[in-house]
């Protein structure tokens, strides 16, 4: 579309907008701007430069609900349907009146708004909700967000992997907006809108050897494509939004390319947020020996972070021959323990030193049987932290719905 169609001086009449709200949606071609009834007018003498400034400061989004007002999201059509809403009313008797009119059409008194929000905030009956202070604050926060988002340069781009999985028998996928928010919090922007998606939601045959094998292969294929694209697009950073079965996340971690730095994200329990919390790291980890075994080649490692591991659920072959160690959240495991990025870094340190200690205690050990109860990014760290040349291979056991642990797959082979 040409620029002329998005000049802010070309606006929809409010009444026309009501009638035409369906029009852009119904239009299948890109000529909706020409087909809808638009008027050219000098809207309440707001200077053209002020209008341009308002559209720029708000990035063409309603400053109240954040919907784009320079395109129709359903058809992708370019169309300006934003309106210039006054914080202090332009008309006497309107919402939020102020005696000093000299600055009314100043950009500081204007909000870019979609017709819905504009109508709502201008209702006299809602003036006690949409106070001038409330609207000034919402404008300030929206424009600050635009400023922060647009200040992030190319060097902060990241390529995103997101996972889909079943949680409590429900298919859980993460909305792009939620991912953008978490990335923005880290001053990162996605390198493209098409995220690499790894789907763990199919549960048929789960916990069979065939299932683990097939899913492991899918992860490897997905990562291969992911890194090829990253290299082609010169992206040197990746971000992983992880959910899914622990053995597969560990496998994924073990296959991550160390040449690209990777940030991990955690789906927090409080709602749908994936943003790292701005709080001090609180998680403390400890390592202990539960049992010293008779056979120095047999070792089991429990990782109790999100929940306790009931040793009675361990497979029967883990007998007195085994040395059994536990890395645990101290004083007690809980699901909501990983809140700040530092909690994750602290785990990584403790995991690496626990593996070293096992290697020191049991010289020549070439295999560890691992029983994890951990949050998703922690599982990835377990796989990622292993040194392929010097660390033992890990036989990962899985449990679901409090069933006994079963062998799933081996990583770091
Ligand atoms: Zn709105």
| SS3 readout for the chain | CCHHHHCCCEECCHHHHHHHCCHHHHCCCCCHHHHCCCEECCHHHCCHHHHHHHHHHHCCECCCCCCECCEECCCCEECCCCEEEECCCCCCCCCCCCCCCCCCCCHHHEEEECHHHHHHHCCHHHCCCCCHHHHHHHHHHHHHHHHHHHCCCHHHEEEEEEEEEEECCEEECCCHHHHHHHHHHCCCEECCCCCEEEECCCCCCCCCHHHHHHHHHHHHHHHHHHHHHHHHCCCCEEEEECCCCHHHHHHHHHCCCCCCEEEEECCCCCCCCCCCCCCCCCCEEEEEEEECCCCCCCEEEEEECCCCCCHHHCCCCCCCCCEEEEEEEECCCCCCCCCCHHHHHHHHHHHHHHHHHHHHHCCCCCEEEEEEECCHHHHHHHHHHCCCCCCCEEEEEECCCCCCCEEEEEECC
Residues 46, 176: one domain? no
141 CA distance to ligand 1 middle (Å) = 15
Question: For residue 102, what pLDDT is reported?
Answer: 64
What is the distance in A from the centroid of ligand 1 to the CA of 119? 10
Taking the centre of ligand 1 as the mean of its atom positions, its distance from the CA of residue 45, in whole angstroms, is 23
The verdict on residue 277 lying in a domain is no
Domain count, the chain: 3
- What is the Å distance from ligand 1's center to 3 Cα? 23
Is there a domain that residue 93 lies in?
yes
Residue 4 C-alpha to ligand 1 middle, in angstroms? 23
50: Cβ contacts below 8 Å, ≥ 6 apart: 105, 106, 107, 110
Q: Are 160 and 242 in contact (CB under 8 A)?
A: no
Shared domain check, 136 and 18 = yes
Q: How high is the pLDDT of residue 101?
A: 66
Q: What is the pLDDT of residue 94?
A: 76
Q: pTM for the full model?
A: 0.76
Domain assignment present for 279:
no
Query: What is the Å distance from ligand 1's center to 362 Cα?
Result: 64
Could you state, in chain order, the average pLDDT of each consecutive group of 10 residues for the chain (413 residues)? 36 41 40 38 73 96 95 82 89 73 84 96 92 96 92 93 87 90 92 92 79 94 97 96 94 95 90 83 92 95 94 92 96 89 95 97 94 96 95 93 88 94
- For residue 35, being part of any structural domain is answered with yes
* Å from CA of 17 to ligand 1 middle: 14
- Same domain? For 175 and 123 the reply is no
User: Is 151 exposed, middle or buried (CB count within 10 Å of its CB: 0-12, 13-18, 19+)?
Assistant: exposed
The tokens for 394 are 């890990």
CB 84 within 8 A of CB 43: yes
Is the domain of 90 the same as that of 176? no
Instruction: Kindly give the distance from the C-alpha atom of residue 173 to the centroid of ligand 1, in angstroms, as a whole number.
Output: 26
Residues 225 and 341 in one domain: no
CA 82 to centroid of ligand 1, rounded, Å: 9
> CA 153 to CA 129: how far, in whole Å?
38
Taking the centre of ligand 1 as the mean of its atom positions, its distance from the CA of residue 175, in whole angstroms, is: 20
Cβ count near 216 (within 10 Å): 20
Q: Is residue 227 part of a domain?
A: yes
CA of 66 to the centre of ligand 1 (A): 6
- Tokens at residue 378, please? 């922690």
CA separation for the pair 356, 348 (Å, rounded):
12
Q: Say if residue 121 is in the same domain as residue 223.
A: no
Contact 186, 266 (CB under 8 A): no
Same domain, yes or no: 78 and 99: yes
In this structure, are 237 and 331 located in the same domain?
no
Q: What is the separation of C-alpha 223 from the centre of its chain, rounded to a whole number of angstroms?
A: 19
Ligand 1 centre and the CA of 151: distance in Å? Answer: 24
Q: What separation in Å is there between the alpha carbon of 69 and the centre of ligand 1?
A: 8
In a domain, residue 276? The reply is: no
CA of 208 to the centre of ligand 1 (A): 50
CATH number at residue 300: 3.40.50
- State in Å: Cα 114 to ligand 1 middle: 4
Which of 150, 167, 188 is the last residue in one of the domains?
A: 150
User: Cα-flanking dihedrals φ and ψ of residue 198, to 5°?
Assistant: -115, 125
Find the domain containing 80 and state its range: 3-150
**Cα 117 to ligand 1 centre (Å):** 4
Name the pairing type of β-strands 406-411 and 393-398. antiparallel
Closest Cα partner for 286 from 273, 299, 271, 302? 302
| 60 CA → ligand 1 middle, Å | 11
Cβ within 8 Å of residue 252, ≥6 positions away: 198, 219, 223, 240, 242, 380, 383
Are the CB atoms for 406 and 399 separated by under 8 Å? Answer: yes
Alpha-carbon gap, residue 254 to 386, rounded angstroms: 7
Helices 341-361 and 376-385 pack at an angle, to 10 degrees, of: 40
Task: Give the distance (Å) from ligand 1 centre to CA of residue 62.
Answer: 5
Same domain, yes or no: 114 and 229 = no
- Kindly state whether residues 134 and 261 are assigned to the same domain: no
Rounded to the nearest angstrom, the distance between the alpha carbon of 162 and the centre of ligand 1 is: 29
In a domain, residue 272? The reply is: no
Query: How far does residue 7's CA lie from ligand 1's centre (Å)?
Result: 19
Do 136 and 34 lie in a common domain?
yes
Q: Which of 220, 238, 265 is the last residue of a domain?
A: 265
User: Does 172 lie in the same domain as 199?
Assistant: yes
Domain end residue (candidates: 150, 168, 184): 150
CA dist list (Å): 308 to 9, 270, 303, 304: 63, 21, 9, 5
pLDDT of res. 91: 74
Give the pLDDT confidence score for residue 386 in this predicted structure: 96
User: CA torsion, points 107, 109, 110, 113, in degrees to nearest 10?
Assistant: 150
Distance (Å) from CA 103 to ligand 1 centroid: 24
The answer to whether 80 and 6 have CB atoms below 8 angstroms apart is yes
């Amino acid at each position: 579309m040409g620029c002329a169609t998005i000049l802010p001086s070309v606006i929809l009449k409010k009444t026309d907008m009501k009638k035409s709200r369906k029009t852009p949606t119904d239009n299948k071609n890109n000529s909706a701007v020409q087909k809808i009834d638009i008027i050219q007018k000098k809207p309440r003498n707001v200077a053209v430069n002020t209008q341009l400034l308002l559209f720029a400061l708000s990035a063409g989004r309603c400053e109240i609900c954040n919907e784009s007002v320079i395109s129709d999201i359903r058809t992708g059509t370019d169309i300006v349907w934003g309106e210039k809403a006054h914080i202090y009313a332009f008309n006497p008797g309107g919402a939020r009146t102020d005696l000093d009119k000299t600055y009314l059409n100043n950009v500081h008194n204007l909000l870019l708004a979609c017709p819905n929000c504009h109508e709502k905030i201008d209702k006299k009956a809602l003036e006690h909700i949409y106070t001038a202070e409330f609207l000034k604050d919402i404008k300030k926060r929206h424009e600050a967000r635009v400023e922060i988002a647009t200040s992030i340069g190319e060097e902060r781009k990241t390529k995103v992997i997101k996972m889909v999985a079943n949680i409590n028998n429900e298919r859980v996928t993460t909305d792009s907006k939620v991912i953008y928010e978490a990335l923005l919090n880290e001053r990162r922007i996605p390198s493209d809108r098409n995220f690499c998606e790894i789907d763990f939601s199919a549960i048929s045959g789960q916990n069979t050897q065939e299932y683990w094998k097939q899913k492991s292969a899918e992860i490897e294929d997905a990562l291969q494509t992911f890194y090829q694209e990253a290299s082609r697009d010169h992206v040197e950073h990746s971000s992983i939004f992880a959910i899914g079965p622990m053995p597969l996340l560990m496998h994924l971690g073990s296959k991550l390319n160390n040449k690209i730095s990777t940030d991990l994200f955690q789906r927090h329990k409080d709602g749908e947020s994936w943003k790292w919390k701005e709080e001090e790291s609180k998680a403390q980890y400890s390592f202990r020996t539960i049992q010293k075994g008779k056979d120095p080649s047999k070792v089991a490692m429990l990782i109790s972070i999100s929940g306790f591991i009931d040793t009675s659920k361990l497979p029967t072959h883990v007998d007195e021959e085994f040395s059994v160690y536990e890395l645990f959240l101290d004083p007690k495991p809980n699901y909501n323990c990983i809140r700040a990025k530092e909690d994750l870094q602290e785990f990584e340190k403790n995991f690496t030193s626990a593996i070293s200690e096992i290697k020191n205690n049991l010289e020549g050990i070439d295999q560890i049987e691992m029983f994890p109860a951990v949050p998703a990014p922690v599982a990835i760290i377990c796989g990622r932290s292993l040194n392929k040349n010097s660390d033992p291979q890990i036989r990962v056991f899985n449990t679901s719905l409090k069933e006994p642990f079963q062998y799933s797959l081996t990583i770091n082979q």
